[in-house]
Every structure is written in C-alpha cells, then in structure tokens.
Structure 1
Amino acid sequence: FLRWGYGAKTCETVATAILMFIVYMQQLFVLIFAYATNTLPVARDVCTQWRMMNGQSVYLRKSGHILAWGLKHLLLVDAEQATNHLEKTTLREECNVGEDYFRMGWSDRGRLVYKHPLWVILGVVCILSMLMGPQTAMAIHTRIFLLGGRGGDDEDLVTRQEMEDFAEQDAKDQARLQTQIDAQRTEMEQLKTQQKNDMEELRKQIEALTR
C-alpha cells in the first residue's frame, strides 16, 4: 500500500499536515496567551528554565534535570546565575504554579478558547489555509485543466494500469541504459588492452634498434 504511486505520497502529506497543524496551533495559543496576559513568552521560558535548574519542574522532572545539566556544562556563560537573578528581580519570584509567569497549561488553552473564540477561529482558518490551500488549488487545477474530456469524476487522473505501464517502461529504459554502460565498459577495456599491446610492441622495437 505504501509503495510509490499507491498511497505513500498521500500518507506522507497527511502526516506532515497533522504535525505542522499541531505545531502551528501551539504557537497560536502562545501568541494569544501573550496578548491576553500582557506577558512575553520569553518570560515564561525563563521561569521554566529556572524551575528545571532548581528541581521544581512540575511535569518533566527527570528531563528537566538533564536539560539543566546540559545547559550548565555546554554554555560559555553562567546561565544558572543569570536565570536566578532574573527570577528574583524582573520576574518577582512568581514562577511557580498559579503565579503570573507560570507556563501555559491546558486549562489556560480552554479559557482562551472560551474568552477569545474569534481569535482562535481566525487563527485556525489561517493555519488550515496555509496547510490545505496548495493541495486544494492543485486538485482544482488538475480537475479543471488536466482532466478535460477524460470522462466523469469516477475516472482517476492516473489509473493503476498507467502506473504499471510507466513502471514497466522505466524498467526497460534502465535495462537499456545498463546495456549501453556495459558496452562502453567493454569497449574501454578493449581499448586499454590494445594500448598495452601497442606499448609492448613499441618497447620491443626500441630494444631491437638499440642493439
């Protein structure tokens, strides 16, 4: 089913579209949450990093320790000291659960949908337009300009028989190309042998003249 021409392209397109939709939806909620709370997302990121470095992660405790260790040993600056300073001064020590700079949770997403439905709907429409627009335009173009008089809607643009014929012709072309390559290789070997024989004959003639 997933071989070329029988669904692999469709599955790849659908999987990619779903993944990108999830990513874009996350960014949409981050943007709306920033506007609704008047807080830049980077402030919440700093708080998340501070909780990881100080062992106060709410969800990812083990991975938080690993990330904090990596930042501490890979960065050229003292990220832990700078993060602690920001948490105590700029962020006013409000990085824990329920405080102003805690990360956005699922409950926050629900409240955003309830309080700002128009923003969410417009964002979803824009995301779907970016993801599905090119495929939809291509499908319409194919149906209108390429199908022409081929028949009704039940007839596919490229039938299975046509795909098999194309694959068979492609195999024949590859076989013919391989035959040409083999012939050229044989010709090159013969030419090398002839050159070797000529050089040997020339060497013998030179030796005969020098005696």
Structure 2
Amino acid sequence: MNKVLYIQASARGERSASINVADAFLASYKESHPADEITRYNLWEANLPEFDRAASNGKYAVMSGADIPDADKEAWRRVLATIEHFKSFDKYVFSVPMWNFGIPYKLKQYLDVIIQPGQTFNFEDGQYTGLVTGKPAFVAFARGGEYQGDASGMDFQKPYFELALGFIGFTNVQSLTIEPTLMGGPDVAKAKTNDVIENAKILAANF
C-alpha cells in the first residue's frame, strides 16, 4: 500500500479549477489503486508553523552545530514535525492556483518550512542534493489568464513550484495546466477544465 499526500493550495474549495482537476485525478487513481491511502492536507485549514525568529534561530543553531536555545526549541520542533509529516508519504498530488503571477502565500509558507538543510536537501562540496527522492508528484496548475508565448515571462507559478520540487529531489513530476479560467469567460473555463480533467484521469492510471 502506498500513502498519497494531497496538498490543496487553493482557498476556493469546489469552485477551484485546480482542485477539480486534482480531485478527478485522485478519483481515477483510487479506481486503479484501491488499496492506497489518500490524505488531504488543506493548507488553509492546517496549523502551519510560522518560520519566525525562533524557527530561524533553531535552523542556524543546527547548521552551526550549536545547541538550540531553550526559547527556540518548540518552534524548531514544529518545523521538524511538519517536515517529517511531508516525508512520510510515497506519492504527492498538489492543486496550485496562480496568485499575482506566483503561488498562494500559504503554499510559499509551507515550502519555506519544509525546505531545510539536512532534512529535504544537503549542501556538500559546493553541490545541492535533494533528499526527497524516488517519489512521484502530480500538480494541477490553474490560472485566470493565458501565459504562453510573450506572456510566459509573467509566469512565476509553474516554473518556481517545479524548481522547488526538483531542488528537494523530485525527478518524476507530471503536471497539467488549466488556462484561462477567467479571461475567456465561464464557458471557456468549463471547457478547458473538462479537457484537462480527462487528461488527468489518463495520467492517474499509471501514477
């Protein structure tokens, strides 16, 4: 049995195109992998640690080989618990909308918590090495406009998120993008979403 972590970064619930696609992907996946366990992790409902001064102090104490100050131990413990939860899964599914050309701040906060030296990556001999390896990921991206051609330079959503996954060790990342969900009107958005859902169902069978 494999454990699948489904991270929802959209705040829009059932109105979210990225969630609709990710849900369809997982429904199809469950049909072909009935024994696997799927855990939904809604970043808008989760009690994410703040990566504040205390957490930062803990991080730099560990990096320098020093003892973590007592006042900072709880903050660092919460960071490590979040990382361990993330790493405990075998496969990952993400629903990621575009916010202001990038990703939602809750997802950025989550990445800032889990991307830590010695936990999800190492730096040795001048080289970065990801530590979350051998695990596949599927990402459903959605954005209100279209970011192809000349507009691709405005896309800090998909390139950044895929870079972050690659940095911590993911090499098997599949993604589908729904666009435009706003600029073309509701009929275009519905048609685009439905097309991507069908493709997601196909990908899910071999995930």
Q: TM-score, normalised by structure 1?
A: 0.21
- Of the two, which has the highest radius of gyration? 1
Which has the larger share of strand? 2
Whichever structure has more helix as a proportion of its residues is 1
